[in-house]
């Protein structure tokens, strides 16, 4: 078994290879992000596939290093794991936002608010030609913003202070995410049992989903994960007004925050909290939600844009898999678009029922640890049952589950996380022999190693002996 030092530096080199490969490969599909400070983000138009392959190899090596770290984590200290996480995240800090163009949509919507255009009615194309619009994916140039008013207010501030310098704005957003990830790490350590802290921290701070998609991709979903942990911590101490504040802020950033509101209300009702405290918490929820809505024009207009994420098809999302199954079962007599719409409705309905049950049970749970794990499961259910699912959605509830979910969950989370890391690969691999052969091969290697971590050694030996016989 390689030592911690080997794991640390292999992961760091893999992270650097991933960041460099994605940067030099560039993007495809019509978007033109900025060249970055001193031109460091400028792609290499002559060898995009080669750089994309380097990124794929870096991704694979990073996930394998993470799996090895997890296997060693129980023998390490919190400081050891934290140092590894910092080393792995470092190469991402100066890279452009990787494997997603969402950051450029964030900045376009913040610029719209700053210039007086309602992003809940119009798409970024109303900004007109220029570097801001050029950086946005063509898919989202004519769609309204599905984000809450507080998030748009934050994006307006970033647009103002960056003075239309896109690379500066992207680095500012990444700084926000880094602060959120540090807060996640601190909260996970504080919430976990003492003997489980290194393992829980590894699952959060060193997790490739966090390193690549939160820090590397600069996704503000990190804020939701932090606020989920804060809400549970406040309810634990019966600081209901503070929990209401955190839940309302989460809801005003992105829709999944509504689950934190639902949990708090279920707890207040099922734990028979005194009426004055219920009224105080409810008043805080209402006041914060209303106050955030006043930050931007048409502050509740984002509710009408909730169908925007579903405009794209993520074929590996559970709803899409069910849609494909319906399409095949009906013998293609039902158009795939209709089959997908039906599947999304069914999966969403099942997910909504499961979420309601989890939150209602969490509200009555006397153990704050089990309650937090149930809320984490509800957030993960929302991520899985939505019309689309991106890898970073798993972090919404993953932080709570890493801290409070128990050993069995943590092991299977490795398999899910390892697979999700390959849900986003460099654009230039698409349509090449690398996407047909190399990506499935790397995915198989990584998931196989993750399953080896989960399955007890005696079972693995039995399978191998049976196969040999």
Does position 3 have pLDDT exceeding 50, yes or no?
A: yes
Does position 466 have pLDDT exceeding 50, yes or no?
A: no
Residues 347, 383: Cα–Cα separation, whole Å = 11
Q: Which DSSP string do the residues of 303-329 spell out, in sequence order?
A: GGGTTSGGGS--TTSHHHHHHHHHHHH
Residues 341, 137: Cα–Cα separation, whole Å = 24
367-421 pLDDT per residue, tens: 999 999 999 999 999 999 999 899 999 999 999 999 998 888 888 888 888 899 9
173-189 pLDDT per residue, tens: 999 999 999 999 999 99
Retrieve residue 137's tokens. 């994916």
Evaluate whether 235 touches 267 at the Cβ level (below 8 Å).
yes
Residues 167-171: what's their mean pLDDT? 94
275-323 pLDDT per residue, tens: 999 999 999 999 999 999 999 888 888 888 878 887 788 888 899 999 9
Q: Which DSSP string do the residues of 331-353 spell out, in sequence order?
A: TT-S-HHHHHHHHHHHHHHHHHH
Retrieve residue 328's tokens. 């095949």
- Supply the pLDDT for residue 411: 82
Distances from the Cα of 448 to the Cαs of 79, 98, 283, 352, 417, in angstroms? 29, 26, 50, 32, 13
- Supply the pLDDT for residue 1: 59
Question: Quick one: residue 26, left, alpha or beta (phi over 0 = left, psi -120 to 50 = alpha)?
Answer: left
Residues 458, 469: Cα–Cα separation, whole Å = 16
Residues 217, 233: Cα–Cα separation, whole Å = 28
Evaluate whether 403 touches 386 at the Cβ level (below 8 Å).
no
- Supply the pLDDT for residue 108: 95
Q: Identify the CA nearest to 103 among candidates 170, 178, 202.
A: 170
Evaluate whether 27 touches 98 at the Cβ level (below 8 Å).
no
Give the three-state DSSP class for 387.
coil
The burial of 125, by beta-carbon neighbours within 10 Å (0-12 exposed, 13-18 middle, 19 or more buried), is given as middle
Q: Identify the CA nearest to 137 among candidates 341, 312, 392.
A: 312
- Supply the pLDDT for residue 150: 96
Q: What is the DSSP letter of 47?
A: -
Q: Which residues 6+ apart lie within 8 Å of 118 measured at CB? A: 112, 297, 298, 301
Residues 433, 351: Cα–Cα separation, whole Å = 37
Residues 387, 336: Cα–Cα separation, whole Å = 15
The long-range contacts involving 138-142, CB below 8 angstroms and separated by at least 24 positions, are 138/29, 138/30, 138/31, 139/311, 139/312, 140/101, 140/105, 140/308
Give the three-state DSSP class for 39.
helix
- Supply the pLDDT for residue 468: 46
Q: What is the span of the domain harbouring residue 296? A: 4-468
The burial of 90, by beta-carbon neighbours within 10 Å (0-12 exposed, 13-18 middle, 19 or more buried), is given as middle
Q: How far apart are the first and last CA of the chain?
A: 28
Evaluate whether 371 touches 235 at the Cβ level (below 8 Å).
yes
Q: Identify the CA nearest to 192 among candidates 371, 403, 400.
A: 403
Distances from the Cα of 208 to the Cαs of 59, 409, 419, in angstroms? 8, 17, 11
- Supply the pLDDT for residue 460: 42
- Mean pLDDT for the chain? 91
Residues 260, 252: Cα–Cα separation, whole Å = 12
Number of domains in the chain: 1
Q: How many residues does the chain have?
A: 469
82-93 pLDDT per residue, tens: 999 999 999 999
The long-range contacts involving 39-47, CB below 8 angstroms and separated by at least 24 positions, are 40/94, 41/95, 41/96, 41/167
Residues 326, 283: Cα–Cα separation, whole Å = 46
Residues 211, 203: Cα–Cα separation, whole Å = 11
Q: What is the DSSP letter of 386?
A: S
- Supply the pLDDT for residue 350: 96
What are residue 257's phi and psi, to 5 degrees?
Answer: -60, -20
- Supply the pLDDT for residue 279: 94
Does position 123 have pLDDT exceeding 70, yes or no?
A: yes
Confidence of residue 231 (pLDDT cuts 50, 70, 90): very high
Q: Which DSSP string do the residues of 212-229 spell out, in sequence order?
A: IIIIITT-THHHHHHHHH
- Supply the pLDDT for residue 456: 63
The burial of 159, by beta-carbon neighbours within 10 Å (0-12 exposed, 13-18 middle, 19 or more buried), is given as buried
Q: Identify the CA nearest to 62 among candidates 11, 23, 6, 13.
A: 11
Evaluate whether 219 touches 392 at the Cβ level (below 8 Å).
yes
């Amino acid at each position: 078994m390689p030592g911690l030092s080997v794991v640390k530096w292999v992961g760091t080199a893999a992270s650097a290879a991933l960041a460099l490969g994605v940067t030099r490969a560039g993007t495809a599909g019509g978007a033109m992000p900025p060249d970055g400070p001193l031109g460091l983000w400028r792609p290499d138009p002559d060898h995009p596939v080669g750089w994309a392959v380097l990124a794929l190899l870096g991704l694979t090596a990073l996930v394998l290093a993470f799996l090895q770290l997890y296997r060693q984590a129980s023998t390490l200290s919190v400081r050891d794991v934290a140092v590894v996480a910092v080393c792995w995240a470092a190469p991402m800090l100066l890279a452009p936002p990787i494997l997603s163009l969402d950051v450029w949509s964030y900045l376009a919507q913040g610029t719209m608010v700053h210039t007086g255009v309602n992003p809940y009615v119009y798409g970024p194309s109303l900004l007109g030609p220029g570097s801001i619009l050029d950086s946005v994916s063509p898919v989202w140039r004519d769609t309204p913003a599905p984000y809450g008013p507080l998030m748009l207010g934050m994006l307006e501030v970033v647009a103002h202070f960056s003075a239309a310098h896109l690379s500066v704005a992207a680095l500012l957003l990444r700084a926000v995410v880094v602060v959120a990830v540090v807060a996640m790490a601190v909260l996970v350590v504080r919430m976990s049992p003492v003997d489980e802290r290194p393992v829980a921290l590894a699952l959060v701070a060193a997790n490739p989903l966090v390193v690549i998609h939160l820090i590397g991709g600069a996704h503000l979903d990190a804020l939701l994960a932090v606020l989920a942990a804060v809400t549970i911590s406040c309810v634990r101490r019966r600081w209901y007004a503070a929990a209401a504040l955190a839940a309302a802020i989460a809801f005003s950033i992105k829709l999944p925050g509504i689950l934190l509101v639902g949990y708090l209300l279920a707890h207040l009702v099922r734990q028979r909290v005194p009426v004055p405290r219920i009224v105080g918490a409810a008043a805080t929820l209402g006041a914060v939600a209303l106050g955030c809505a006043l930050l931007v024009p048409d502050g509740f207009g984002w509710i009408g844009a909730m169908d925007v994420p579903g405009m794209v098809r993520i074929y590996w999302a559970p709803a899409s898999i069910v849609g494909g199954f319906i399409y095949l079962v009906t013998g293609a007599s039902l158009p795939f678009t209709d089959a997908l719409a039906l599947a999304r409705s069914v999966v969403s309905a099942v997910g909504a029922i499961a979420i309601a049950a989890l939150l209602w049970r969490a509200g009555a749970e006397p153990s704050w640890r089990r309650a937090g794990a149930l809320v984490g499961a509800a957030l993960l259910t929302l991520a899985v049952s939505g019309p689309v699912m991106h890898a970073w959605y798993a972090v919404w509830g993953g932080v709570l589950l890493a801290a409070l979910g128990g050993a069995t969950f943590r092991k299977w989370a490795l398999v899910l996380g390892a697979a999700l890391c390959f849900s986003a690969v460099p654009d230039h691999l698409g349509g090449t022999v690398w996407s047909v052969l190399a990506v499935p091969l790397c995915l198989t290697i990584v998931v196989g190693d993750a399953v080896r971590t989960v399955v007890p050694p005696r079972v693995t030996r039995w399978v191998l002996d049976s196969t040999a016989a």
